[in-house]
Amino acid sequence: MMKYEKEINKRRTFAIISHPDAGKTTLTEKLLLFGGAIQTAGAVKSNKIKKHATSDFMEIERQRGISVATSVMSFEYNDILINLLDTPGHKDFAEDTYRTLTAVDSVILVIDSVNGVEDQTRRLMEVCRMRDTPVIVFINKMDRDGKNRFDLLEEVEKELSIHLHPMTWPINSGKDFKGVYNLHDKSLVLFTANTKASDDEDVVTISDLNNTVLEDKLGDRDAETLREDVELVDGVHGPLNIENYLAGKVAPVFFGSAVNNFGVKEMLDTFITIAPAPRSRETTKRLVDVQEDKLSGFIFKIHANLDPKHRDRIAFLRICSGRFERNKYYKHVRLEKEVRFSNPYSFLARSKDVIEEAYPGDVVGLFDTGGFKIGDTLTEGENFYFTGIPSFSPEIFKEVVNKDPMKTKQLEKGLLQLTDEGVAQLFTQFGGNKKIIGCVGELQFEVIQYRLLQEYGASVEFRAQPYYKACWITSTDKKKLDDFTRFKSSNIAEDKDKHLVYLAQSEWFLNTERQNNPDIEFHFTSEIH
Ligand code: GDP
C-alpha cells in the first residue's frame, strides 16, 4: 500500500454548481445534515448578493464574509471525508467559481425542473467540459409543476452536450409528485415532504415491476406509466458505465426536491460510491501521481479581508500529493523561496481551527501577506506548475483613469495585488501605457475601486472600452504575429504575464480577423502558467 493511500481513498472533493435559485444552498444544507456537520435546517446562509446594488458595499462585505467561512465545508459520511467547495452564486463573481472548479475532482450540477437549463448552468458546464470533470445531475424542485421529464432530459443533453443516465425516475411532478423509482436498486421511494435529514424515507423494494404493490402505492394509471417509462429508460441506458462517468462523458441523473430532503440521500449514497477520489494531476513538467510521498499543491483562490483593521489575506491551497504539515518548509516555486505556515487553517465543520496535517483532496487556508497569486505552486523542492488553471476572457473592459497622480505608485501596486488575487485581469495596451481592466461583472469594478481607495489610498475612475472579448494570440510564425500586432496595434494588449492579447470589438470583428489570419491562433482562455 502506498504511504497515504488510505487517506486519499477516503476523500471526495467536489463543488455544487447551479444557476442562482436552482437550489444549491438548500442542497448543501441537506448534505451537511446527512454528514452531521450541522444540526438544524437554516444553518447554511445563502452567499447570494440579493440585489444588484452596485454601491452597496455592506452587502459585498457580508457576502465575502460568509463566503470565506463557508468556502470549504468538510464533513464525514459513511467513513468518506467529503470536501465541499463553495462557489459564489452571483454571476459577477463567476471567475471565482471557474477557478474553484480547477480544485475539485467532480461536481454536482443542480437544475431547476421548472426552468431547465439556464445561463449560468451553460457556462459552468463549459468549464467542466474543458477539464472532463465528472458530473452528477440533480434535477430539483420536482414538487413543482416542472417540464415533462423526457423533454427536460433531452434539453439538458442537447444544451450541455453531455449524455445523461437516469439513476432514479420520477413519478409525476408538482402536486401529483409521488416519488422516484430507483432504477439501480429497484426500489420505490415515496415522496413525503420532510425538511429534516433522516433515514426514515418510505422505501418499498420492488424487484419485479409487474408486482401489484405498484398499483397499491401509486394507483393504476401512475403504476402503468412508471412501468412504461422504466422499460423505455432501461432499454436505452442499461446499467451505468462508471468509466464513462469518470471520463466526464456520461452524467448520472437524480430527481428530487432539496427543500423536502427528497431524493438527496439516493444521490449522496451514489456519490460516495462512484465519485472519484483525488486523482493524479498534470503539471508543466510531468504527471504528479497523487500517491507520491512529497507534497505538492496549488493556490486556486485568495480571499482578502475588506476590513481595514484586518488586512490579512487567506490563500486557499489544494493539496495534490503528499502530506501537508504545519511548520514544515515548502518551496514557493515562483518566488524560489522556502516558506512555512504556523497557522494553517482547516475547514472541518466541527473544528474550524489550526490543523497539523492535510492530505490530497484537502484544502488548507494559508495566512498570506501578499506573497501568493492564483496558480502558485508549493512543492518539496521541485519546480513545476499545475496546468489547467486558466484565465477566461473577461466580458467588460474599462480603462483605469488615475485621479490622483501623487498616488501612482500605490495604484500600480494595488492593481498588481488585486489582479494577483484574481479579482480582475489587467491588460496594458500595446506600445502605450493605457491600463485596461477586464472583468466578468460590473460589481467587480465597484469592488476594485473601493479596495484601491481603502487599501492603497489610490483613487480611480473607469472609462468604458468598446471591447467584447479578449483573445490570447499565438502563432508558430513569428513574423505573421509581429505583423498582426503592428497592423492592429490599437487592439493589442499584453496581459500581466506579457502574453499578447487581441481585444475584439465584436464577434464580427473577431471572426473576420480569424478568417483573415489563418496562421494566428485565437485562444479564449489563457493558462496562467
Ligand atoms: P441557490 O441560489 O441555488 O443557492 O438556491 P436556494 O437553495 O437558495 O433556493 C432558492 C429557492 O428555491 C429558495 O426559496 C428555496 O427554498 C427554494 N427551493 C429549493 N429547493 C426546492 C424544492 O425542492 N422545491 C421547491 N418548491 N422550492 C425549493
- Cβ–ligand 1 distance for 144 under 6 Å, the answer yes
Q: Name the residue type at position 318.
A: R
Q: CB of 257 closer than 6 A to ligand 1?
A: yes
The answer to whether 310 and 303 have CB atoms below 8 angstroms apart is: no
CA of 112 to the centre of ligand 1 (A): 9
d(CA 441, CA 61): 17
Q: What is the pLDDT of residue 54?
A: 40
Q: Please return the burial class of 194, using the count of CB atoms within 10 Å of its CB with bins 0-12, 13-18 and 19+.
A: middle
Cell numbers that stand for 59 in this block? 452587502
- Scanning the structure block, which residue is given the C-alpha cell 507534497? 295
Instruction: Look at 50 and 131; give whichever has higher pLDDT.
Output: 131
Residue 363 has pLDDT above 50, yes or no: yes
In ligand 1, which atom is closest to the CA atom of 262?
Answer: 23
pLDDT of residue 265: 92
Convert the pLDDT of each residue in 34-88 to its tens digit: 887 666 555 565 555 444 444 455 565 555 555 555 678 888 999 999 999 988 7
Residues pairing with 281 in the sheet: 288
- Specify the higher pLDDT residue, 188 or 192: 188
26 lines ligand 1 (CB under 6 A): yes
pLDDT at residue number 423: 84
Q: How many A from CA of 21 to the centre of ligand 1?
A: 6
Q: What is the pTM assigned to this prediction? A: 0.88
Q: Which of 56-65, 170-179, 213-222 has the lowest mean pLDDT?
A: 56-65
Give the model's confidence band at 257: pLDDT under 50 very low, under 70 low, under 90 confident, else very high: very high
Residue 249 has pLDDT above 50, yes or no: yes
CA–centroid distance, 84 to ligand 1, in Å, is 19
What ligand 1 atom has the least distance to the C-alpha of 144?
26
23 within ligand 1 shell (Cβ under 6 A): yes
pLDDT the model gives residue 51 = 43
Convert 462-529 into a string of H (helix), E (strand) and C (coil): EEECCCCEEEEEECCCHHHHHHHHHHCHHHEEECCCCCEEEEECCHHHHHHHHHHCCCCEEECEEECC
The C-alpha angle 148, 152, 155, rounded to 5 degrees, equals: 140
Atom 2 in ligand 1: residue holding the nearest Cα: 21
pLDDT (0 to 100) of residue 471: 94
Q: What percent of the chain has pLDDT over 90?
A: 63
Residue 81 to residues 10, 121, 290: CA-CA distances in angstroms?
6, 27, 17
**Ligand 1 atom 22: the closest Cα is on which residue?**
141
Q: Is the pLDDT of residue 197 over 60?
A: no
Distance 464 CA to ligand 1 centre (A): 36
Mean pLDDT of 180-185: 91
Amino acid at 188: L
Q: What's the chain's average pLDDT?
A: 88
Instruction: Provide mean pLDDT across the span 317-323.
Output: 97
Least confidently predicted of 201-205, 330-334, 384-388, 450-454: 201-205
Task: Say which residues have a Cβ less than 8 Å from residue 138's Cβ, sequence separation at least 6.
Answer: 27, 108, 109, 110, 111, 253, 254, 255, 256, 258, 263, 264, 267
Question: Which of 17, 26, 142 maximizes ligand 1 atoms within 8 Å of its Cβ, making it the mutation to test the pocket?
Answer: 26
pLDDT at 359: 96
**Predicted pLDDT at 196:** 54
Residue 281 has pLDDT above 60, yes or no: yes
Give the model confidence (pLDDT) of 470-527 as tens digits.
999 999 999 999 999 999 998 999 998 889 999 999 999 999 999 999 999 999 887 7
DSSP type of residue 372:
-
Q: Is 123 exposed, middle or buried, given 0-12, 13-18 or 19+ CB atoms closer than 10 A?
A: middle
Q: 385: closest CA among 282, 275, 526, 244? A: 282
Q: 382 with 289: CB under 8 angstroms?
A: no
For residue 27, give the nearest of 141, 117, 121, 134 by alpha carbon: 141
Q: Whose CA is nearest to atom 14 of ligand 1?
A: 21
